Structure 1
Amino acid sequence: MTVPIAIIGAGIAGLAAANTLHKAGHAVHLFDKSRGSGGRMSSKRCDVGVLDLGAQYFTARDRRFVDEVQQWQAKGWAIEWEPHLYHYKNGQLTPSPDEQTRWVGKPRMSAITRGLLGHLPVSFSCQITDLIHGEKHWHLLDAEGDEHGPFSHVIIATPAPQATSLLASAPKLASTAAGVKMEPAWAVALAFESPLDTPMEGCFVQGSPLDWLARNRSKPGRDSQPDTWVLHATSAWSKQNLDLPKEAVIEQLHGAFAELMHFPTPAPIFSLAHRWLYARPAAAHEWGALADADLGLYACGDWCLSGRVEGAWLSGQEAARRLIEHLA
C-alpha cells in the first residue's frame, strides 16, 4: 500500500505542492479547516452574488509562475482584469493607470483553487491541531480528537502562526515560523441598488483607514451583480480595531469610502465584514520553503517569500521539489 503525503492547507501554496507531487506520481491527501479550498483566494457567496473578499487580483513576474498562469488562462480559470485605476492621497482622487498585468479568477477568485484541487483527495472542515511522529510514519490529530494517517511526509501550508504549533517536532523550523509577523486586514463589502456614478474600478488609498477598494462587477464574469464594492482596511487600522464588532467596522469603513468618493453615497442595500487575521506577512523572506528532510516535515506559504499569490505558489512548488529530491 502506498502511504500518501499529508498536506495541511488547501490554499494556493498547499495546492501548488499537491499538484507538483501528484504529477511526479506521489499520492497526497489535503486537509483544510474551511469548508472549501482557496484560503485567502477564496470567494464568499452571499445575497448579492459571489465576492472576492481576500486577494483582489494577482500579478506574475517569475517565469515559472507566468507559465502556470498561462495554463490557468487556457483552462478558463483565470483572466486579465483591466480596471480604471485611481489613487487617493491628501484628499485628492486622481486617475492612476499603469502597465501592470493583473489577473483574477473567473468567474470568481476561487475558480483557480477549485481547478487546482480537481479530484485530489481532501478533508474539508477538518482542523489539524497536532502531528504525531511514529517510528516510520506521521499521524495527524484534528480538533474533534480524530486521528488521520499513516502519512509518509507532512507539508504544512498554513499562515506562519498556525504553522508554528504544528512544527513543534522540528524546533528549528518552529522558531523560524514563530518569528514571522503576519498582519491582519478587515474587508468590507457594500452593495448599492443603483450603480455609483464614478468611472473608478480600483483605487490605491493613502491617508485613510482604507488601503484599497475595488468595484467587484468590473472584474470579468461578475457583471450580473448589483454594484458591489470590496474595501480593504490598512494593516494599522485593522490592528487597532481587531476586535471591533462587525457593524462598527462596516460603519467606519463605509464612512471612509463615502469621504473618498466626494459625493453623497446612498445607504447600501447589503453589507458584510470579514476579518483576515493573517492577511499578509509584515516582511518578505527568501526561504522558499522550510524543510526537515530527515523528519519528513516541510512548511510553505506566502510568508516564506513575498507575501503575494505568486510567492505562495512558488513556495508550495519549492516544498514539493525538496521533498521529491529527498526521495530520489
Structure 2
Amino acid sequence: MTAPIAIIGTGIAGLSAAQALIAAGQNVELFDKSRGSGGRMASKRTDAGSVDLGAQYFTARDRRFAEVVQQWRDRGWVAEWSPSLYNASEGGLLPSPDEQIRWVGTPRMSAITRALLGALPVNFACRITEVFRGERHWGLQDAEGLSHGPFSHVIIATPAPQAAALLAAAPKLAGAAASVAMDPTWAVALGFSETLDTQVEGCFIQDNPLDWVARNRSKPGRESSLDTWVLHATSNWSRQHLDSPKEAVIEQLHGAFAEMIGCAVPAPTFSLAHRWLYARPSQAHQWGALADADLGLYACGDWCLSGRVEGAWLSGQEAARRLLEHL
C-alpha cells in the first residue's frame, strides 16, 4: 500500500490541496497546531455568539474559484453578504461605491474549512517542528518529540515564516519562503447590549489605527443577543503594538472605533482580542506554489499568490497539480 501524503496546515490552502488529491484517488493525512481547522479563516465561539476574527469575507474573481464557491453556496456552506458599506477618512463617513460580491461562510467563516475537512484523517493540536527525509519516505516530528510517517510526499500549507523552517530539506524553497514578509493584525471583538445607532455594517478606514470594522451580526446566519463588532487594526499599528497586553489593545481600538463610527459608543459588555502574527503577505507573488518534485516536497498558501482567500485556494490546487504530475 502506498504511503499517504502529509499536509501540514488545515486552512483553505491545505484543504484545497487535500480535496484535489482525494479526487485523484490519493490518501492524505493532515496536521495542524491548532485545535480546529480554518487557519486565518477561524471563528471563535463566545458568549456573544460566533465572531469571525480573521478573514471577514472573500471575493471570487478567478473562474475556477468562482465555480467552486457556487458549489459551496449550493451546499449551504457560504452565502452572499451585502453589507451597508462605508468609507471613513478625515473624520467623515461616506457610503462606499464598492459593489463587488462578497461571500462569507455560514453560520461562521470556519464552516467552510470544517466542511472541506469532513472525515479526512487529521491530527489537531499537533505542531510539526521538523520535516525529514528517510531512505525512501518522509517523516515528521512534532513538538512533543513524536514521529509521524512514513509519507510519500509532504505539502506544507502554513504561513511563509513557518513554512521556511519546515522546508530545510529543500534550501531553495526555504529561501523563497523566508523572503516573504508577512504583516500582523490585531483583531478585537466588541459586544454591546444596546444596538449602536449607525447604518454602518462594514467600513474601510483611513488615517486611523483601524483599517476595517464590521457588524458581525449583519452577516448571514450570525445570531447574537449583542450588537457585536469586529475591528481590525492596520498593519503598522499592529506592528507597533505587537507585544501590548490585550486589555490595552482593546481599550485603544475601542477608542478609535468610538471616534470614527459617528454615534454614541458605550462601554462594551463583551470584548476579546486576538493577534494574527502572520495575517497577510506584505505583497503579492506569482509562484502559485513552491515545489521540489524530485524530493516530493511542496509548499502552498495565500503568500504564494494574492494574499487573499482565493489565492490560498488556488495555491493549494496548484501544489496538488504539481504533485500529481510527478506520480
1:174 corresponds to:
174
Contact 1:193 1:227 in 2 (8 A): yes
Q: CA deviation at 1:4?
A: 0.1
Does residue 39 in structure 1 map to residue 39 in structure 2?
yes
Q: CA deviation at 1:61?
A: 0.3
Q: CA deviation at 1:183?
A: 0.2
1:222 corresponds to:
222
CA–CA distance in structure 2, aligned partners of residues 263 and 211 of structure 1: 18
CA–CA distance in structure 1, aligned partners of residues 32 and 140 of structure 2: 12
TM-score, normalising length: structure 2: 0.99
Q: CA deviation at 1:261?
A: 1.8
2:201 corresponds to:
201
Equivalent position SS for 2:16: helix
2:120 corresponds to:
120
Consecutive unaligned residues in structure 1, runs of 5 or more: none
CA–CA distance in structure 2, aligned partners of residues 215 and 262 of structure 1: 14
Equivalent position SS for 2:326: helix
CA–CA distance in structure 2, aligned partners of residues 172 and 220 of structure 1: 44
CA–CA distance in structure 2, aligned partners of residues 83 and 14 of structure 1: 29
Q: CA deviation at 1:226?
A: 1.2
CA–CA distance in structure 2, aligned partners of residues 40 and 163 of structure 1: 15
Contact 2:48 2:224 in 1 (8 A): no
Q: CA deviation at 1:264?
A: 2.5
The AA in structure 2 aligned to 1:260 is: M
Contact 1:84 1:97 in 2 (8 A): no
Structure 1 segment 246-257 matched on structure 2, within 5 A: 246-257=246-257
Aligned residues: 327
Equivalent position SS for 1:237: helix
**Can you list the C-alpha shifts for 1:146-171, whole angstroms capped at 9, x where unaligned?**
00000000000000000001000100
Equivalent position SS for 1:30: strand
2:156 corresponds to:
156
CA–CA distance in structure 2, aligned partners of residues 68 and 326 of structure 1: 25
CA–CA distance in structure 1, aligned partners of residues 146 and 160 of structure 2: 24
Equivalent position SS for 1:320: helix
1:145 corresponds to:
145
CA–CA distance in structure 1, aligned partners of residues 13 and 137 of structure 2: 23
Structure 1 segment 1-328 matched on structure 2, within 5 A: 1-327=1-327
Q: CA deviation at 1:179?
A: 0.3
Equivalent position SS for 1:7: strand
Consecutive unaligned residues in structure 2, runs of 5 or more: none
Equivalent position SS for 1:242: coil
Q: CA deviation at 1:11?
A: 0.2
**Can you list the C-alpha shifts for 1:210-252, whole angstroms capped at 9, x where unaligned?**
0000000000001334100000000000000000000000000
Equivalent position SS for 1:321: helix
CA–CA distance in structure 2, aligned partners of residues 147 and 229 of structure 1: 42
The AA in structure 1 aligned to 2:93 is: L
User: Aligned-residue CA RMSD in angstroms?
Assistant: 0.7
Contact 1:128 1:143 in 2 (8 A): yes
Contact 2:49 2:223 in 1 (8 A): no
Q: CA 1:310 to 1:225, structure 2 compared with 1: closer, same or farther past 3 Å?
A: farther
Contact 1:203 1:214 in 2 (8 A): yes
**Can you list the C-alpha shifts for 1:121-140, whole angstroms capped at 9, x where unaligned?**
00000000001101110010
Contact 2:11 2:157 in 1 (8 A): yes
Q: CA deviation at 1:97?
A: 3.7
Equivalent position SS for 1:60: coil
Contact 1:58 1:310 in 2 (8 A): yes
Structure 1 stretches (4+) deviating beyond 4 angstroms?
Answer: none
Contact 2:198 2:262 in 1 (8 A): no
